[in-house]
Structure 1
Amino acid sequence: MVGSIVVLLAWLGCLSLGTVRGQRGDLDIGTELDDIRAKLQGLKDLEARLNHTEKELEGQKAKVDRLEKENKEITLRLNTTEDEVEKLRNSGTKKGPQVAFSASLSNFGEIYKGPCSDTTLVFKRVFSNIGNGYDQHTGFFKAPVEGLYYFTFSTFGYNTHLIGAVLVKGGVRVVSTYDHVSTDSSDGGSNAVVLELKADEKVSVELWQNARVFDNMNGHTTFSGFLLYPLGDRK
């Protein structure tokens, strides 16, 4: 644009020189000067429009830069969220050890247990034994892993004898059922507890001294338990 203005100024100089030499009339020179002024004004208007356009472009570029920055931030947040979701999904699908058992005292016919010197109840009719923690030959449950376990047991008997049993952890009595001799024909009881066990610790159900329990295929006297969650990863 500066070059165009220079050309016009040179042309104006030539016209002025012609006037000095007396080669043109005043009317012709005035007309051409008006044309030149009009063209100069047009150039100034064009330059103003160009400057305005450049400012608009700068504003648009600043807006695009801002949107690109926001897009990068949103993309970063989205990636972070996706990573967290993936971690949650993976943690939800990771399976810990599965331990659960349930058994009743009698695996056929009718059975009366006690009073006797061997007080550990051996629940022979196994309904489930996931993880093989329960031994149907000894009546002991041995924890496969360190963890928090839930246990429940029930007892049933006739009131000619004391009825009840005790859940025992590592030789220590924990919770029990108990019903003394009475005129009732029969009674039942149940109890439950949550225990923290180390790996290989044992839990069993034992008769009270001089107690007696009854069971048949209806499953009156039972012993069950399962792992709530492992504790081996604690710090």
Structure 2
Amino acid sequence: MVLNLGATVVDMRAETRESLSNVEGEVKEQRAMVLNLGATVVDMRAETRESLSNVEGEVKEQRDSVSDLRVELGITKHEMERMAKENAEMTAKLSASEKEREDLQARLSSSETSVEALKKSSEAQLAQLSTVENRLADTDNKVLELWNKPQIAFSVGLGNGYVGPFGSDTTLVYKKVFTNIGNSYNPSTGIFTSPVKGVYHFRFTAALWNRPSESVRIQMYKNDQRLMSNRGYNNHGKVESISNGMILELEEGDTVYMRLPSGNTLYDDADNESTWSGVLVYSM
């Protein structure tokens, strides 16, 4: 048993030596690996330092860029604030301009309404003016027509003293001529002759003085037709006066005259108490 135990111990030592030899080989390999790993770590540290240096450079550049960006951002912010302020001012001005535009638009609309009203008023005034001008032209034509028509008027008196009495009806000859436009009254015969067809107005006065208890009579004739006969009675011996008038439509060539009936007397003096007048009112 002792021999066997010794042999066993020997074997165990041999195995132990072999195991130790194997362990030493593994340790050597591990040491070599550690050395290689250390070299690798040294290389990695160097690379890491270089990378860190590069990163630090890039970080510094980034910081500088960030700083520049901050500066630019500050400037941009300031510009934005300035632009925002200008934009607000422009918005306010635009709002004011818009209000002014609306006011101008309202004024323009009002002006257009006023212009339209003025245009209508002007058209109405032009129409009225045209009407007035037409009426004025008609009036001018009528005035010219009247101006070109014959102007006929006369006014005469018996003269001073008594006329009559006569033994028969006698045509009165008014010798005192005040007016004889157109010369249609004949102071030699006492007869008015119508020069144109038209409407005439005739009027007379007749007086008798200082012949008490006598009557004053006078008659108006157209051609051979007696148109009127007037009389007055002098019962006081002073002046007795009568007057009358007629509007006659005469043809060209018609005659008008005054007659004193037989046995009657008329009186006239400087006061022109016995007169006869006639005028063309309008021609036809």
What band does the TM-score fall into relative to the shorter chain?
A: 0.5 to 0.7
Q: How does 1:1-235 map to 2 (within 5 A)?
A: 24-25=69-70, 27-69=74-116, 71-72=118-119, 73=121, 77=125, 80=128, 84=132, 87=136, 96=147, 97-106=150-159, 110-117=161-168, 119-145=170-196, 146-156=198-208, 158=211, 163-179=216-232, 185=237, 188-200=240-252, 201-208=254-261, 210-215=262-267, 217-218=269-270, 219-227=272-280, 229-232=281-284
List gaps (5 residues or longer) in structure 1: 1-20
Residues 167 and 175, structure 1, Cα contact 8 Å, conserved in 2: yes
Per the TM alignment, residue 75 of structure 1 is displaced from its structure 2 partner at its CA by 8.8
C-alpha distance 43-185 of structure 1, shift in aligned 2 (>3 A): closer
Provide TM-score, normalisation by structure 1: 0.66
Residues 205 and 273, structure 2, Cα contact 8 Å, conserved in 1: no
Provide TM-score, normalisation by structure 2: 0.56
Deviations 1:22-74 (A, max 9, x none): 66226555444333333332332222222222222223333444444555536
Sequence identity (%): 18
Corresponding residue pairs, total: 207
Per the TM alignment, residue 230 of structure 1 is displaced from its structure 2 partner at its CA by 0.8
Residue 24 of structure 1: SS of its match in structure 2? Answer: helix
Per the TM alignment, residue 195 of structure 1 is displaced from its structure 2 partner at its CA by 0.9
Structure 1 runs of 4+ aligned residues shifted over 6 Å read none
Which structure: larger Rg?
Answer: 2
Letter of the 1:142 partner, please give it.
Answer: T
Look up the match of 1:6.
none
List gaps (5 residues or longer) in structure 2: 1-64
Look up the match of 1:16.
none
Letter of the 2:177 partner, please give it.
Answer: V
Looking at both structures, which has the greater relative contact order when contacts are Cα pairs under 8 Å and sequence separation is at least 6?
A: 1
Letter of the 1:188 partner, please give it.
Answer: E
C-alpha distance 196-110 of structure 1, shift in aligned 2 (>3 A): closer
**Partner Cα distance (1:68, 1:155) in 2:** 73
Query: Which of the pair is proportionally richer in helix?
Result: 2
